[in-house]
Chain A
Amino acid sequence: MFKLNKSTKFALYSIFELSKNPQKILAASEIAQKYGISEHHVAKVLQQLAKIGMVHSIRGINGGFQIAKNPKELTMLDVVEVFEPRLPQNSCNLSDSQTVCSQKDACQIGEVFLEIQEQAYYTLKSISIATLLSNSKI
């Protein structure tokens, strides 16, 4: 029903892979190959993540990308929000404008999507990349 855009998926794969070994430098091609996805697109996503300081971009023959943040402090939301625009709090998914809604008679529909949006927001915010990696159970 709800689909993440490709860049978000690739960013999650990349951060997941880079966080497995924070010291390791990985080329975009290695990540792309592992997931069977476009190397060009992964490289573009990683460059964007480097721009905001989530990964380091390392030049040279043995260059590539390295995680720049502590996976314990990096949440799924941090990664998802890079490529998925977040709606302002309490704004309606159905409204085309952020200030004026022309569909006030259908607020009940918007409220349902707001509920789902809020749930997704807090779920993603509460799961760190380290938690994803540990897959631990007490």
Chain B
Amino acid sequence: MSFTIRKIQKEDAQSIIEIDAMQSGEEKPAYWNERFKYFFESSNALGYVAIENEKIVAYVLAEARALEFGSQLCGWVFAIAVNPNFARQGIALALCRQVCLKFKELKINTIRTLVRKDEVSVLSFFRASGFKAGPFIELELELLD
């Protein structure tokens, strides 16, 4: 294990956009720039990057959220990704652990995330990290013409 973890900085934005594009197959600079605008100004947001050979190879972005749908204050992991060339080294787990530690310091004891049900590898990662189904069910409505 030769990577290190540090707090995210504004200058990391481009690397995050690139890793996300590697994972999703789609570059979304507009989405990310909008997201970062809010993220770097929010006192509830926290993020970390993993660095190997001076290069950012993974990131996790999270925030403390409360009151949506009657939820108590909890931590939300809303993005986590590893450059596929650096997969299977325990980097995502280490990042997740770092976020959990920070939330614990903030006296937040529940961490949540949202994953597509057919993203089996991501689901497996969170399951293996101890995540279980929570008290909410995501519902959606398709608005037809």
Interface residues of A (CB under 8 A from B): 118-119, 122-123, 125-128, 130-131, 134, 136-138
A138 and B113 CA atoms in complex are apart in Å by 14
B92 to chain A, nearest CB (A): 10
Interface residues of B in 69-124 (CB under 8 A from A): 93, 96-97, 100, 117-118, 120, 123-124
Q: How many residues of B contact A (CB 8 A)?
A: 14
A119 and B137 CA atoms in complex are apart in Å by 11
The reply to whether A125 and B129 form a contact with Cβ atoms under 8 Å apart is no
- Say whether B28 faces chain A, with CB atoms less than 8 Å apart: no
The reply to whether B128 and A122 form a contact with Cβ atoms under 8 Å apart is no
In the complex with contacts A123-B133, A138-B97, A138-B100, A131-B128 CB distance below 8 A: yes
In the complex with contacts A118-B117, A122-B117, A134-B128 CB distance below 8 A: yes
By a CB distance below 8 angstroms, the chain B residues around A118 are: 117
A40 to chain B, nearest CB (A): 34
- Say whether B130 faces chain A, with CB atoms less than 8 Å apart: yes
- Say whether B6 faces chain A, with CB atoms less than 8 Å apart: no
A122 and B123 CA atoms in complex are apart in Å by 9
By a CB distance below 8 angstroms, the chain A residues around B96 are: 138
A12 to chain B, nearest CB (A): 16
- Say whether B7 faces chain A, with CB atoms less than 8 Å apart: no
| Top 4 A-B residue pairs of the complex, sorted by shortest distance between their CB atoms | A137-B130, A126-B123, A122-B117, A131-B128
By a CB distance below 8 angstroms, the chain B residues around A119 are: 117
By a CB distance below 8 angstroms, the chain B residues around A134 are: 128
The reply to whether B124 and A131 form a contact with Cβ atoms under 8 Å apart is yes
A55 and B75 CA atoms in complex are apart in Å by 41
By a CB distance below 8 angstroms, the chain B residues around A126 are: 120, 123-124, 127
In the complex with contacts A123-B133, A138-B100, A128-B117 CB distance below 8 A: no
In the complex with contacts A118-B117, A138-B93, A128-B129 CB distance below 8 A: no
